[in-house]
Structure formats: structure tokens, C-alpha cells
Amino acid sequence: MQKFINNPNQVVEDMLQGFIKAHPDLISGTGNERVVKYKDAPVKGKVGIVTGGGSGHKPAFIGYIGKNMVDAVAVGEIFTSPPAQMFYDAITEADSGEGVAILYGNYSGDNMNVAMAMEMAAEDGIMVQKVVANDDVPSAPATEAEKRRGVAGEILMWKAGGAKAAMGGGLDQVIAVAEKAITNTRSMGVGLSGCTIPEVGHPNFSVESGKMEVGIGHHGEPGIEITDLEPANKVARRMCDVILPDLPFTMGDDVVVLLSGLGSTPVMELYILFNEIEKILSDTGIRIHKSYVGNYFTSLEMAGATLSVMKLDEELKECIDYEADSTGLRQFQK
Amino acid sequence: MITFTNQEGSRIVDMLILVIQENKQYLSDIDGAIGDGDHGINMNKGFTLCREALDKDPGDLSYSLNLLGRILMMKIGGAMGPLYGSFFRTFALSLEGKDEIGRDDFQAALSSSVGALQIISKASVGDKTMMDVLIPAKEAMDLAVKEDLAFGHAVDLMTEAARRGRDSTVNMEAKIGRSARLGTRSRGTMDAGAASCCLILETMASGIKELIRE
């Protein structure tokens, strides 16, 4: 195992300590060593934004804590939902009295633990509502969209919800825009290698040399198909052929494109893929309003990429363009 | 009637902790085939936290099971934290206040724990989850009580039903949970939750048999 770690059982704790020390301008720890928050949270008069999930997806989830973004995050073990207590503590850290929007991905553990945390918060009189991201198209057919996983599209949901809250939106408005953001987003991953959870010590799966795993999940869940490795233009075509008809995205749409590496794929290759994706979208008459290309939502050192496309309306456009400051996403007001 | 005391029953929890610690790698390897390979790690972490807490502050069977349940529910996360947490806590509450635990007490505790899980989880037999072990094991125990079989014999039948349930998950297509997203590709591998659940019931059964022999 080629990793910079100390005790494999303590990687999450060690990472969090480093993260808090590295970014005191944005981040602070809390009474729960597994809950991290924006240093100014709870922000007076603002709806709190909370998320959480298993570790191993840097910069997600903690990298999206910051100004006009996420207020508090519950940090689980690698690829494992945080327990209810952590989600609950994150909710209380984020609540300024205006209520809390908990925006997370569709995984059975997260669903159960968030439900328990929401009950606990409601008993304490905290207003809390949730949006569950399910943007990963290959994980279930459109007829069973409620079974789909949440993947990199979650970032766009946090961006939109975080901006709406910062603009002064109430809890219902924040929830509505986050819901719209994820409903308008479709994602798909292609994997080129597995990854190793430090405590397990060996890769969770492998992709044979010269092959690729189409529709791979963010935790190494096998994809829908293993095919020969194709050139970037064909991979881009394959991704667009799955994503575009599913919403559907059509001529005249304005979109955000988020192309994230899965961990070990060079950013150079992401731009090669993006170049091909742009050609396909532009040939289809779809206009790219904004692009994010880089390691936005990874799976330890998996090789591969996830493409997410979100269809915009005026409200989402305003939210996406809104100033934000977090370690994983930083942009200035135009 | 054959019984063991709640006090000496705490040994069952010692055995449960040990069996999970010993099978950490086995459970993670099963989970790695169609899941994310962390089941053994997370179970081991929760059960080991319980070991540390019990070493500081030991108690009887219902106390120890309740502690185990609370630790799993509050500290472990994943889907298994809430599921096993609820299972052990309900089990503990059913045995609380009993000095002596006999066949019918054990059956009632198992029955209410399975019932508690059926409230949280929509899974039923055939979905490739821990319920493929728990439901038949509970039914075997219920039947053994109805037929008035001896405590030792009853838990043997429960163990056999649990093992058959565990093995039946191999050829199932997962309908619930993370592996459900693989569709037919989840066939051919045992469900990790079913495997850990079977270990837990087997260990409870062998613990009971040791206790009632003494």
C-alpha cells in the first residue's frame, strides 16, 4: 500500500486535524471531533446548510464548507455514513434559528442516520428539512430514479442551496432550489482502476488493463458494463449518450458541466475529456454557462471521471454564479 | 425449566465481541466482492468500543446488549449501525429486569428485535440482506417453542435456519441496500450483513448452550 498514513484506523481523525490546522481562515472544529464547521457558523439570520457522508471523497464533503456554501459537515469513516449523533451535532452547529437544510446523497446508511438525526433535531425544536441527491444515472433506471445514488452532482446542489441561503432565502426556498438543482442534474462515472481503503489494505476491486468500468459508483460499486478502454472522444460520447436523453437535455438549454476526476486520473486527461464533451454539447446546441473541471469529488485513488450536467434556469444561474469561498470551490462575483 | 442468569449471560456478549473481532477480515472480504469492503472494519470498531466500555464498567446480559446497541447506533454509522443498534437494544429491553432467562424469554427477545428491524428496514426474505437470516431464525425459534422443544435443541434449530438463510443469499439478486444497485451482478456472492448476522446468532446459540450445560 503506497500511502502517506500513520495508523490505518486513524486516517479520518488525522486528516481532520490537518484540515482544521491548514484552513483556520475558513474552518473550525467543534465539540464533536467528527463534525467540522464554517468558522462563522451558525451565520446569524441565515438558513444553515449541512451535509455529511463517508470519507474518502476529498474535497467532498468538508472542502465545500465555507462562505455561501456548507455550514457544517458530519464526517464518517471511509465510505461509511456518519452515525445519527454526528448528523445531529452538525445540525445544531449550523442552526442560527432560521432552520437547517440537510443536503446529502442517496445511500441507505445516510438515509437511516439522517432520519434519526432529523427526529432528534425536531424534538429540540430545530426546523430541519432534507434533499436527497440521486443524480447518478447508471445506478438505476429512470423509472426507479428514487434508487439512484448521489454523486458529484451533490456539489451543484450545495452550491445552489448555499447561495440561496446566503441571499436570505428562507428554509422552504433553500430546500426548493436545492431540490431543483439536483432534479436538473444527471451524472455518470467511468472507472479505470479500484482503490484501497487503508484499513482493508488491498484494492476493493480491479479493472483489467485495457478495460474500463462504465457506470462505476463512488465507492467502487461495480458499474453496469466492462468494456475495452476507448479513446477520450468515445468515452465522452458514451457519457453524453447516457446523461443527455435521461433528463432530457435539449437544444437551447443552458447548462453547468462538472467533470470530476475520481482521484488518480491526471487533470490533463480531464481536460482532454472535457474538450470532447464540449464538442458534443455544442453540436447538440447545448450552451455551457459554466464549467468545473478538476478533482471535485473523488474516491480515494480510483482512476476515472464523473461527468455531471445541470440544466439551468434564471434562479439556478444566479445561485451558481454567486460568490463562494470554500477550499474545494472558490469563485468571485462577476 | 432450564435457564441461565442474566448476570452470567453477559458472557454471551463477550463471545459476540470476540467472534466479530476474529471475523473482521472475513466480513470485509465478503463485503468487498459486491459492496465497499468495510463491513468487518465497522463491525469490529463498534464491538471493540463495546469491549472497552465493558472492561471499565461490566454488567449483566441485558445491560451489555443495551450498551452494544447504543454504541453501534450512536458511534458506528453506515446502515449497519442503526440496524444492529436497534436489534441489540430491543433485545436488551426485552430481557431487562429478568434474573433468569429461559427459552421463552429468548424467543420473545428475538421476536421483538426482528420486529423492530422490520419497522426500520423494508427488506424481507429474498432481498439478500440480514433479514434472510433473521426471519427464518426467528420462525425456527417460534416453532421450537410451540413444539415445546428443549432450550438447547431450540437454539440448534435456530442456528440451522440462520445458516440456511445465510447460504440462500449467495444466489439472490440484491433488492435493498448498496449491492441492490448491481442488479443481477450481485448474484454469486454471499451478503455480508447476512454473514455477520449468522455469526451473531450462532454465537448466541453456542453461548446459551454453554451456560445451560453448567
Q: What is the DSSP string of A87-155?
A: HHHHHHHH-SSS-EEEEEE--HHHHHHHHHHHHHHHHTT--EEEEEE--BGGGS-GGGGGGPPP-THHH
Percent of chain B with pLDDT over 70: 94
Alpha-carbon distance B160 to A48, whole Å? 51
- In this model, does residue B184 exceed pLDDT 70? no
pLDDT score of A224: 83
Q: What is the pLDDT of residue A93?
A: 98
Question: Residue B185 pLDDT > 70, yes or no?
Answer: no
Give the pLDDT confidence score for residue A332 in this predicted structure.
94
* Facing residue for A219 by CB, picked from B36, B45, B73: B36
The rounded mean pLDDT for chain A is 96
A225 in B contact zone (CB under 8 Å)? no
Helical residues (DSSP H) of B121-149, grouped into ranges: 131-146
For B119, other C-beta atoms within 10 Å of its C-beta total: 9
- Flag the least confident range among A56-70, A103-117, A317-331, B3-17: A103-117
Cα nearest neighbour of B24 on chain A: A200
Distance, in Å, from the CA atom of A28 to the CA atom of B214, rounded to the nearest integer, reads 56
Question: What pLDDT shows up at residue A204?
Answer: 74
- Residue B129 pLDDT: 92
Instruction: Give the three cell numbers for residue B101.
Output: 432467562
Residue B32: the pLDDT is: 75
Span B167-180, average pLDDT = 82
CB half-sphere exposure, A280, CA atoms < 13 A: 21
User: Do the chains contact at B36 and A197, CB–CB below 8 Å?
Assistant: yes
Banded pLDDT at A144 (limits 50, 70, 90): very high
Confidence of residue B28 (pLDDT cuts 50, 70, 90): confident
pLDDT surpasses 70 at B180: no
Identity at B16, one-letter amino acid code: L
Closest to A113 (Cβ–Cβ): which among B32, B37, B82?
B82
What is the distance between the alpha carbons of residues B156 and B165, in angstroms, rounded to a whole number? 14
Task: Describe the strand order of the beta sheet including A330-331 as a list of residue ranges.
Answer: A66-67, A324-326, A330-331
Q: Please, are residues A70 and A329 in contact by the beta-carbon 8 Å criterion?
A: no
CA distances to A100, A147, B140, B149 from A155, in Å: 17, 19, 48, 58
Residues A258-281 have a mean pLDDT of: 98
Query: Are B32 and A204 in contact, with CB atoms under 8 Å apart?
Result: yes
At B8 the three-state DSSP class reads helix
* Grid cell of A249 as nine digits: 437535455
Distance of CA A89 to the CA centre of its chain: 21
Which residues of chain A make contact with B42, given a CB cutoff of 8 A?
Answer: 77, 80
Q: Which chain A residues are Cβ-neighbours of B185 within 8 angstroms? A: 222
pLDDT band at B35 (very low <50, low <70, confident <90, very high): low
Q: For chain B, what is the mean pLDDT?
A: 92
Contact list in A for residue B28 (CB cut-off 8 A) is 200
CA distance A53 to A152: 13
Q: Which of A9, A83, A112 sits opposite B74 (nearest CB)?
A: A83
Q: Beta strands A100-105 and A48-55: pairing type?
A: parallel
Q: How far is CA B188 from CA A224, A260, B24, B62, B213, in A?
A: 16, 32, 21, 37, 39
Q: What percent of chain A has pLDDT over 70?
A: 100
| Other C-beta atoms lying within 10 Å of the C-beta of residue A45 | 9
In chain A, the percentage of residues whose pLDDT exceeds 90 is 88
The one-letter amino acid code at A99 reads G
Q: What is the CA radius of gyration of chain A?
A: 19
Please indicate whether residue A300 or residue B34 has the higher confidence score (pLDDT): A300
Q: Characterize A7-37 residue by residue with b for buried, 16 or more Cβ atoms within 10 angstroms of its Cβ, and e for exposed.
A: ebbebbeebbeebbeebeebbebbebebbbb
Which residue in B has a C-alpha nearest to residue A74's C-alpha?
B77
Confidence check: pLDDT of B61 > 90: yes
Query: pLDDT digit string (tens) for A20-39?
Result: 999 999 999 999 999 999 99
Q: What are phi and psi of A96, to 5 degrees?
A: -100, 5
pLDDT at residue A19 greater than cutoff 80? yes
Contact A116, A109 (CB under 8 A): no
Q: CATH homologous superfamily for B3-213?
A: DhaL domain (1.25.40.340)
Q: How far is CA A182 from CA A37, A131, B62, in A?
A: 23, 9, 45
A139 and B42 in contact by Cβ < 8 A? Answer: no
B178·A221 Cβ contact <8 A: yes
Task: Evaluate whether ipTM surpasses 0.95.
Answer: no
Whether residue A324 has pLDDT greater than 90: yes
User: Would you place residue B88 in the very low, low, confident or very high pLDDT band (cuts 50, 70, 90)?
Assistant: very high
Q: Give me A289's grid cell.
A: 454557462
pLDDT value at B120 more than 90: no
Angle, in degrees to the nearest 10, between helices B131-146 and B103-120: 150
Are B78 and A222 inside 8 Å of each other by CB?
no
The stretch A168-184 carries a mean pLDDT of 98
Residue B165, C-alpha cell as written in the block: 438463510
B208/B211 Cα distance (integer angstroms)? 5
- Which residues in chain A have their CB less than 8 angstroms from residue B32's CB? 200, 204-205
Q: Which three cell numbers stand for residue A306?
A: 464523473
Average pLDDT on A193-198 reads 90
| pLDDT computed for residue A319 by the predictor | 98
Q: How high is the pLDDT of residue B36?
A: 65
Q: Residue B178's pLDDT is what?
A: 64
What phi and psi, each to the nearest 5 degrees, are found at residue A64?
-105, 15
Nearest to A47 by CA among A15, A20, A19, A69: A69
Interface test with B, best of A79, A87, A89, A147 (most B CBs within 10 A): A79
